[in-house]
Amino acid sequence: VWDLYSNHVVPSWIIQNNTLYPLNKRPAPISHVWVDEKDRVDVLTPINGKEWPVPIPKDVDLNLIQIEMLNLGVEYTWLDVLCLRQKEEGGLREDLCMQEWRLDVPTVGCVYKYKQVVIYLNGLGQLLQLKDGDLDSNQNWFRRAWTFQEVGDERIIAGDTPDGLMHAQPIDGGNYRTALLTRFHEELHSVERGTAHIFAALADMQKRMSTNPVDKVTGLAFPLQPYTIPAYHESETLEDAWTALVNAMDPYMRAHFLLVYPGVGLRCKKWRPTWDQVMMEPLPKDGHHIDKDVQHDDKTDEDWFDGPCIEKGDVRGLSMITLTTRNTDCPDFKYDDPSRDFRCQMSPDGSKITVSQCW
């Protein structure tokens, strides 16, 4: 973490052993979007002991960021370029960087979880500004894969001015003086709502961009609540990274793929979608909590579901005419065992029938 009082990067255990630092007061991490490479410069700084060159925007001074954070009342923070070893092309410690990234990069989401986050929407240390095209840029904070898990519980938008974007007031019904400003605040509001559900999280990631494609999978680690976090490998294929994440997910999260996702997996696991499917195809809306599990055995790579099974039945009323004209109706369902009742529910778009047992 970055100790802003001493202006040095220190081990995080120093906070835990500091009797003067309240246990309920956590470091406030910094989230920022990286500016284009042509607008960045690598600097050696005593803040991180000159361990590696720190990439920052050309017109930014880390000491000014320190002052701004102190003015916000922050004592400790976490900043990726200072606290996470950065690549140094041709550097002597490049192998060490790869080793550290395997474990450190997937756990970055933990730094921001349940925290108050300071966000630089226009780039580290940059003033908060907005012009036409910014919200559609691939470099926009709202469109980057890594920032998806960096929203925290509370947010401070840094770089604002007294007459800036954050001080603008709506003029009617939530609309602002320009359509661009209205859209900006809608984006902020969508971040505040969060994405606690699996399909909402995946749909959000569909529109985001990353320098390395596998970063989009890694950026979903904390939102999808895995039991364990797969190691990070830059050269890993997207499908292998996705498979590792699904296998590590909480069993009740996996159940959404089996019971809610309307399609069939295009690879060997038919019960769940592939990475291409969840990134390229429309996704269903999250419904109520599913109290079911899909278990996984890492040793055998087998998955199983323990629940009611309909071995024999007759479903009628699934013709194309029915699906297009009677979307709100349930098809007739006849089950051979009269001692059990089942309820049929059709999805709003008519693409899937869910049959559930009534107890």
Instruction: Give me the residue label for tokens 């055995």.
Output: 297
104-159 confidence digits (pLDDT tens): 888 888 889 878 999 999 999 999 999 999 999 999 999 999 999 999 889 999 99
CA within 13 Å, CB half, 2: 25
- DSSP letters of 32-62? EPPPPGGGEEEE--GGGTTSSPEEEETT--H
Instruction: Give me the residue label for tokens 């990631």.
Output: 205
Is the predicted pLDDT of residue 24 greater than 90, yes or no? no
Sign of CA dihedral 314, 254, 232, 190: positive
256-295 confidence digits (pLDDT tens): 999 999 999 999 899 999 999 999 999 998 877 788 899 9
Rounded Cα distance between 53 and 201, Å, is 34
User: Could you count the other beta carbons within 10 Å of the beta carbon of residue 355?
Assistant: 16
Q: Quick one: pLDDT at residue 326?
A: 35
Phi, psi of 115 (to 5 degrees): -115, 165
Rounded Cα distance between 144 and 138, Å, is 7
What pLDDT band is residue 338 in, cutting at 50, 70 and 90?
Answer: low
Query: Which residue(s) pair with 119 in the sheet?
Result: 31, 157
Rounded Cα distance between 32 and 158, Å, is 10
User: Could you count the other beta carbons within 10 Å of the beta carbon of residue 148?
Assistant: 22
Q: Quick one: pLDDT at residue 191?
A: 84
Query: Quick check: 51 and 85 in contact, CB under 8 A?
Result: yes
What pLDDT band is residue 101 in, cutting at 50, 70 and 90?
Answer: confident
Stretch (H or E) spanning 275: helix 275-280
> Could you tell me the two tokens for 20?
């003067």
297: helix, coil or strand?
strand
Instruction: Give me the residue label for tokens 């000491």.
Output: 63
Residue 342's alpha-carbon distances to 206, 306, 310, 315, 357, in angstroms, are: 36, 17, 10, 12, 4
Per-residue pLDDT, averaged over 233-257, amounts to 94
Q: Sketch the domain layout of the chain as residue ranges.
A: 1-192, 194-311
Q: Quick one: pLDDT at residue 72?
A: 92
